[in-house]
Structures are given as C-alpha cells and as structure tokens.
Structure 1
Amino acid sequence: MTNPDDTLHYKKQHNLTINDIQHSLYYYFDYDERSFDINMPFQHFHSFYEIMVLISPQASHLVEGIPYSIRSGDLVLLRPSVLHRSEYPKGAPGKRLIMSFLYPPSLWDRPETYQKLFEPFYAPVPIYRFPSKQQQLINEKLNRIYHYSFHDEDPDLRSLMVHGMFVDFLYTLRKLAPYNTYTNEPLKDEASRKVYSIANYIHNHYSEELTLDALAKEFFISPYYLSHQFKDVTGYTLTQYIQMTRIKNVQYLLQNTKKKISELAEECGFTSFSQFNRIFQKYCGQSPSEFRKASNSTSPYSPI
C-alpha cells in the first residue's frame, strides 16, 4: 500500500515564483493541468532550465523532434534552447508539475560547482524514471518545496530557502541518476519511426541546405513518400517544419545574442535575407527587429 507522503503533492493552479525572469536568480513552480485540446502546435524553447514531472498516468514529450513516452513520476529535464513540446492524450486533462529556473553564471563565485548539478540535463536522453525507493526520495524533496510555498515569509528569506531546497533536490537527482530505468517505447509503425528520425535530423542540421530530394536520398525513401508521410505524421509539410525549426533557432539567438540579424539568418540556414524576413513575419507576426526589441522587456519564451 502506498504511503500518501510518498506521492508527489499537488494542488491545481498552484504556483510559486521567486523573482522574475529579468533577475539572475529565478524560480517558477507551476502545478496545473494540460489537455489534448490545447497541445502546443509546434515545439518551443526557453532560455532557462526546465523540469517537467508528469503526475497523470501517461503522456508524451517531443524533444528536438523525437517523441518520448512518459508515465507518472517521470522527470523530463530540458536545458536552455532545446526545442520541445508536451503531448497529452485525449480524455481527462493531464496533471503535471513544471519547474523553471535560471541561475547567474557566477552564483556564489562557484559556477563550476553548479555546472555539476546540471549534468543530468545533458544526458543523451534526459528523461528519468526511478525505482520506488529512489522515486520516494525525489518526491520527498519536491514535497518539501510544495509545503513551504504555502507559508508567509519574508521575500529575501523565501528566495534563500527555496534556492537551498531546490539545490538539495538537484543534488539528489544527480546522485540518483545512475538508478535511471527509463527506456523509450519504440513507435509501432515504420513510417512514424522514419519521419521522426528525419525530424531529428532537421533539428541537428537546420543550418545546412535541406531539400526534399536530399533528405529522401539521405534516408533511402522516395521524395513522394517522404512528402506525404511527413505531413501525415507531424501535421506539417516538410518545408513548414524546416522553416519553423530555423525560425525558432533565430528567435533564441535574437533573445540571447547581440549579433546582426542578417548574420543570425545565415547561421540558421536562410540563404536569402528577404525570404528570411518574409518567413519570420509569417510565423511570428512581427519583424525580427521588433521581436528582439520586445524580448528585452518580456520573458525569454518563444510565442509560436
């Protein structure tokens, strides 16, 4: 019989914020629901670290074009700039906990120490599933933060306490990483496996020239088959997917670098600057310069 104290505690629409995204030390804990009807249309990114803990029985998560099946208790770790999207099945809304955080590069003048805490985020498959004993320890650390979030507290002390508890959680997660039992469930049909392999290839080669014929040749399939299967599986044409992946990466660079817009367009695979401006306007509803200006006063979160 499961001890209630061993489960991850949850209250719908509860959240905890420490500072804001413009501060160098930032935390946001979001306990809420998502459903199939509001699945994001395309993958998005953040300029901060994020952890998603699934509370409901099952869902899936796309990371750089690859679908991963997840179940209750699984932790999805996302480093900055990684394109991703949660997908929830039809039926009742799915409960989940999202934890976003951002640390200054020289926190306590020990950046190399903090970098060690982030090692689990850089695993080849940064999704963690633990045996019961280790999962209980993870839940214990997270429940401590959850219950503290309901206390009235001096803002400075609250910031310090949440940071301390979260570092303890990250340390525990790093220590338990060798116990990870997660293995992805392979897609059942060959067509989907092939399409998602191509999607992942696009995410890793978006700066290069990508054409229907070249991709078909790379993956030993006909251009006609690729064109139709890609749309059926992803909901996007191959051209749309390539363009949106490139635009997403331009957005990230616009928010996080001071390079010229023309340089960023070229870095992300656009060979024509006029075409880039037209496509950016199409997907973002504003020019690249307007997007960069707006990003200086808002959260570094992609709007499409």
Structure 2
Amino acid sequence: IISNWHHEFEIIYIVSGTETIYIENECIVAEAGDIVVINKNRIHSLTGKGWVHHCLIPSDTMIQSLGIDCADISLKPHIKDPELANAFLEIIDAYNSGRKYETAFKMLAIQRFLLLLFEKHEIKYSDNVENKRSSDFLIATKVINYLRQHLAEDFSIDEIASELGITTSYMCRCVKSATGLSILDHLNIIRCYTAKHLLYHTDKKIGEIAELCGYRNASYFAKNYKKIIGISPSETSRR
C-alpha cells in the first residue's frame, strides 16, 4: 500500500465496491455511496477489491472564494449523506455532459457540493477547545511552512522555535496536538514527497535528489522514502 500526503482536503466518493482507507491511525471501511474526507496534512493510503471511486481535491483558494476560512477547519472523515452524495454525482454528470458552458456547470456543481459539505459536516468544538485547537494549528502551519522553505538545509528544532519566538517544547506539543505527527515526521514526509516529484519529473540521479531534499546519507534517505512512499526511490524512478 502506497501512502500519500498533501496540504489540501481530499474528498473521495465510492461508486461501487468496498474500500479501506487508512488515515494515520484510523481505519475507515467505506462502501458505495459513502464519502470519505481526508483532512489537510494527513498521511493516508487506500486499498480495496473491485472498488471504483472518484476523487476531488479542491484548492484552498477555491474554498476561500466561497467565503469559507478553511485554514483550521476539520471535516468528518466518514460521511453517509444521500444529499451530499447526490451533489457529488452532479459533479460527475457535469464533467461528462459535454454541454454548452460545461466549465461553468462544473464549477457550479463543485461549489454547491463544497458548500453543503462544510455546512453540514464540519467538526464542531467547544470555545475553549476551539481556541486551543486554533492556536495549535496556527503554530503547526508556521512550522510546516518553515520546513517546506528550508527542506534542503541543515537546521535544528531549536532554530525553528527561535524563529517563531516560542520554546521548543511548546512548539513540539502544538504540532503533535494539531496534526498527530512530530516535527521530524513532517520534515521526512515533506522531503520524501518532494523527492518523489523530482524522481517522476526530472532526470536527476537519486543521490542528487536526496541531497536537494536535505538528505546527506543515501541509505537513510532510501529507508525513509520506502517507509513513507511505500516503494523505493529506484522503483519510483523506473515508472
């Protein structure tokens, strides 16, 4: 099973069959008509037999254009909602219609679906929990942005905390609380997915890509890559 990870929400509609979706430590078994939401920055993988699904990964810009501040929102991961399922089917129909103004109809269908999704299935928290969660998520976002900007460099956890003006222990607790992962986990995920992109889309050698992604030891890079991506760097580069 190959794991995946990205910044955006991923929304999966199960057309037929049964699909098992692992989102970090959670296992969801979804069947036809179900919708599964993979919240931002979550490691996930999919497996199943005889299943068919459609996937939607809306950009933050698209969601924000609807007046939804999605920066620190979480959605229910497993949804059984006929109204929402029908709205997703309208997206599929819009893409297959070939009608006049097809692009506009696609956009309208996606917007309607997203509005229903966020209106009905946002996870609600009490004010105290929400304030704590928002604070943790804000710090986690700043840390992840720092990791993305400096992924090729050598730096310490203390340097990140100093850059953000907070203590190292507090920063680590916030990131773990908000995402379920450590800062080192996030760094390795970002580096390995950047490496995966370079392996697919450039002719650079594996050792060079490892170096560009901040790995000074080729065997350590290969070990982390296999653990996170599910296949070795050499298997990726042959595809």
TM-score normalised according to structure 1 size: 0.44
Q: Distance in 2 between matches of 1:33 and 1:74?
A: 24
- Asked whether the equivalents of residues 153 and 214 of structure 2 are also in contact (C-alpha less than 8 Å), the reply is yes
Match of 1:188 in 2: 131
Q: Distance in 1 between matches of 2:189 and 2:196?
A: 10
User: Is 1:216 paired with 2:203?
Assistant: no
Paired residue type of 2:215: F
User: Is 1:225 paired with 2:170?
Assistant: yes
Match of 1:206 in 2: 151
User: Is 1:290 paired with 2:223?
Assistant: no
Q: Distance in 2 between matches of 1:89 and 1:220?
A: 33
- Aligned residue for 2:131, secondary structure, equals coil
Q: 2:220 aligns with which of 275, 279, 283?
A: 275
- The equivalences for 1:7-46 within 5 A come to 13=14, 33-35=34-36, 41-42=42-43
Q: Distance in 2 between matches of 1:92 and 1:283?
A: 27
Q: Distance in 2 between matches of 1:191 and 1:290?
A: 37
Q: What displacement does 1:32 show?
A: 6.4
Q: Which runs of 5+ in 1 are unaligned?
A: 1-11, 16-30, 45-49, 54-60, 77-85, 99-138, 149-160, 174-186, 297-304
Q: Distance in 2 between matches of 1:143 and 1:254?
A: 32
Q: What displacement does 1:246 show?
A: 0.5
Paired residue type of 1:232: S
- Asked whether the equivalents of residues 42 and 179 of structure 2 are also in contact (C-alpha less than 8 Å), the reply is no
Q: Distance in 1 between matches of 2:102 and 2:57?
A: 14
Q: What displacement does 1:203 show?
A: 2.2
Q: Distance in 2 between matches of 1:273 and 1:205?
A: 19
Q: What displacement does 1:69 show?
A: 11
Q: Which runs of 5+ in 2 are unaligned?
A: 1-12, 17-31, 46-54, 109-129
Match of 1:302 in 2: none
Q: Distance in 1 between matches of 2:155 and 2:35?
A: 34
Q: Distance in 1 between matches of 2:77 and 2:56?
A: 23
Q: 1:245 to 1:91 in 2, by over 3 A?
A: closer
Q: Distance in 2 between matches of 1:227 and 1:143?
A: 42
CA deviations 1:189-235 (Å, max 9, x no partner) are 32321222211222232222232111011101111112222111111
User: Is 1:92 paired with 2:79?
Assistant: yes
- Asked whether the equivalents of residues 33 and 80 of structure 2 are also in contact (C-alpha less than 8 Å), the reply is no
CA deviations 1:118-177 (Å, max 9, x no partner) are xxxxxxxxxxxxxxxxxxxxx9xx6873562xxxxxxxxxxxx48x8555669x89xxxx
Q: Between Structure 1 and Structure 2, which shows a larger proportion of helix residues?
A: 2
- The equivalences for 1:1-304 within 5 A come to 13=14, 33-35=34-36, 41-42=42-43, 52=57, 74=66, 88-89=75-76, 92-93=79-80, 95=84, 145-146=94-95, 148=97, 161=98, 166=102, 188-189=131-132, 190-293=135-238, 296=239
Q: Distance in 1 between matches of 2:66 and 2:57?
A: 8
Q: Distance in 1 between matches of 2:211 and 2:237?
A: 17
- Aligned residue for 1:35, secondary structure, equals strand
Which one has more relative contact order, counting CA pairs under 8 Å at least 6 apart? 1
State the aligned residue count: 171
Q: What displacement does 1:271 show?
A: 2.0
Q: Distance in 1 between matches of 2:191 and 2:176?
A: 18
Greater C-alpha Rg: 1
Q: What displacement does 1:275 show?
A: 1.6
- Aligned residue for 1:213, secondary structure, equals helix
Q: 1:143 to 1:248 in 2, by over 3 A?
A: closer
List structure 1 runs of 4+ shifted beyond 3 angstroms: 12-15, 38-41, 50-53, 68-71, 73-76, 90-98, 164-170
Paired residue type of 1:92: I
CA deviations 1:81-127 (Å, max 9, x no partner) are xxxxx9532663474788xxxxxxxxxxxxxxxxxxxxxxxxxxxxx
Q: Distance in 1 between matches of 2:173 and 2:159?
A: 16
Paired residue type of 1:188: N
